[in-house]
């Protein structure tokens, strides 16, 4: 059965020290300015955070005999997310949506071209799946890529793409219709489009409710030409590839939500003991102490679900369990932790009272950041659909 060992906890301490020392002093300023801290990314690379699941030949730290690599990634995301959700999602998307598709489906040449810089934090990569009219219904992709001679000509648009418009973004992998299957359905493939390619336009950054430090843009492609060898994986398998990528990403989002829940429990417990009302700490009131207890229950449940799913992912990589079990565990973890995170911020804000509505207290920032956890990497409704199907219920 899964459990975190001494090596995991030693790694957690390393990442927590980094998050507290390099991130926390700046997050309020970065959040208010909607500033993406480009200079932080190489520091994360130096710490090895982008290379946890990448083999050594591409600059990562993964050895053939390693176990628990994905669990370590979740620990890193959790600890960064405990300090700031935007920085946590930058790592989560940088590895799960940027590096992972290239690592899993890329050719040797594609891996050698992109992975060393991505692992080192010198560059970032994006994952272009969502479109203005194709979110949960990703099969409704309208972006098209036509093979003309030895080039793909890409036309279309993508929406809400993380790490897609930074100064160090090197490439975005996008899903596109590349033809029609024998049964008349859209053939969807994945195409890698390097930054700066003519016809590839990055829209201005979104003005978001939360995740203000995270880089998020819409993308447009107008007769954008890339070499035929920029196909990622097999032609016609793009949709299947990206769905598998999302399964792993859901565990990472669960870890991000866990970091938030932990921080809300810590903040609420500390504030309830220091805030006085009628001459006593408000923690003496059961109406408050019971809410802090509820936060502890949410945290413990989220931790068990998250690291069970992460353990299963590592077991799958070692050939000891099935993809189906990981898929089910990922959706269960993501559904619970994301919804618990939204509840946790509401509870913590209520305990803080009027101060919880003030931006000088971190609970306000986490309150704004929490909602997207129920939406990104598959909405709560999609998770319930996946779980129901896993139980054998009709699709």
DSSP 269-288: HHHHHH-EETTEEGGGSHHH
The set of residues, in sequence order, having a beta carbon less than 8 Å from that of 386 and lying 6+ positions away, is: 327, 328, 331, 378
Instruction: Say how far apart CA 246 and CA 386 lie, in whole Å.
Output: 12
For 39-84, what is each residue's pLDDT tens digit? 999 999 999 999 999 999 999 999 865 578 999 999 999 999 999 9
3-state SS class at 192: strand
Of the residues 78, 131, 299, 377, which is catalytic? Answer: 377
pLDDT of residue 128: 96
pLDDT of residue 65: 52
| Neighbour count for residue 296 (Cβ, 10 Å) | 14
Instruction: Say how far apart CA 317 and CA 332 lie, in whole Å.
Output: 20
pLDDT of residue 137: 81
pLDDT of residue 64: 65
pLDDT less than 50: residues of the chain? none
- Asked about 299 being catalytic, the answer comes back as no
pLDDT of residue 242: 85
Instruction: Say how far apart CA 308 and CA 391 lie, in whole Å.
Output: 18
pLDDT of residue 66: 58
3-state SS class at 13: helix
Sign of the alpha-carbon dihedral angle for 87, 93, 98, 104: positive
pLDDT of residue 3: 82
* Domains of the chain (ranges, CATH numbers): 6-124 (1.10.540.10), 127-236 (2.40.110.10), 239-390 (1.20.140.10)
Q: How many helices (H) and strands (E) does the chain have?
A: 12, 10
Show the tokens assigned to 384.
């319930």
3-state helix, strand, coil in the chain (%, to 5): 55, 15, 25
pLDDT of residue 134: 86
């Amino acid at each position: 059965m899964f459990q975190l060992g001494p090596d995991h906890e030693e790694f957690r301490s390393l990442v927590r020290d980094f998050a507290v020392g390099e991130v926390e002093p700046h997050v309020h300023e970065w959040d208010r300015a909607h500033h993406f801290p480009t200079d932080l990314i190489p520091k994360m690379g130096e710490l090895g955070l982008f290379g946890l699941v990448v083999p050594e030949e591409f600059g990562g730290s993964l050895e053939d005999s390693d176990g628990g690599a994905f669990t370590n990634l979740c620990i890193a995301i959790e600890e960064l997310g405990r300090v700031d959700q935007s920085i946590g999602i930058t790592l989560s998307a940088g590895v799960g949506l940027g590096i992972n598709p290239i690592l899993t489906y890329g050719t040797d040449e594609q891996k050698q071209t992109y992975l060393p810089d991505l692992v080192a934090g010198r560059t970032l990569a994006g994952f272009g799946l969502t479109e203005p009219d194709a979110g949960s219904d990703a099969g409704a992709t309208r972006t098209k890529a036509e093979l003309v001679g030895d080039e793909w000509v890409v036309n279309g648009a993508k929406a809400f793409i993380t790490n897609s418009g930074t100064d160090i973004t090197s490439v975005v992998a996008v899903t596109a219709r590349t033809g029609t299957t024998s049964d008349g359905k859209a053939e969807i493939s994945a195409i890698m489009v390097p930054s700066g390619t003519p016809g590839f336009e990055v829209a201005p950054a979104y003005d978001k409710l939360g995740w203000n430090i995270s880089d998020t843009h819409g993308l447009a492609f107008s007769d954008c030409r890339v070499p035929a060898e920029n196909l990622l994986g097999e032609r016609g398998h793009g949709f299947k590839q990206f769905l598998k990528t999302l399964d792993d990403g859901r565990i990472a989002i669960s870890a991000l939500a866990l970091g938030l829940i932990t921080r809300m429990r810590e903040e609420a417990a500390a504030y309830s003991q220091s805030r006085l009302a009628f001459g006593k700490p408000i923690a003496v009131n059961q109406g408050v102490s019971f809410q802090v207890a509820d936060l502890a229950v949410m945290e413990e449940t989220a931790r068990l679900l998250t690291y069970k799913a992460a353990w299963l992912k590592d077991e799958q990589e070692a050939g000891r369990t099935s993809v189906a079990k990981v898929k089910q565990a990922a959706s269960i973890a993501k559904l619970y932790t994301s919804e618990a995170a939204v509840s946790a911020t509401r509870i913590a804000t209520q305990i803080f009272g009027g101060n919880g509505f003030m931006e000088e207290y971190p609970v306000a920032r986490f309150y704004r950041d929490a909602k997207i956890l129920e939406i990104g990497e598959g909405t709560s409704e999609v998770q319930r659909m996946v779980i129901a199907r896993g139980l054998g219920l009709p699709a």
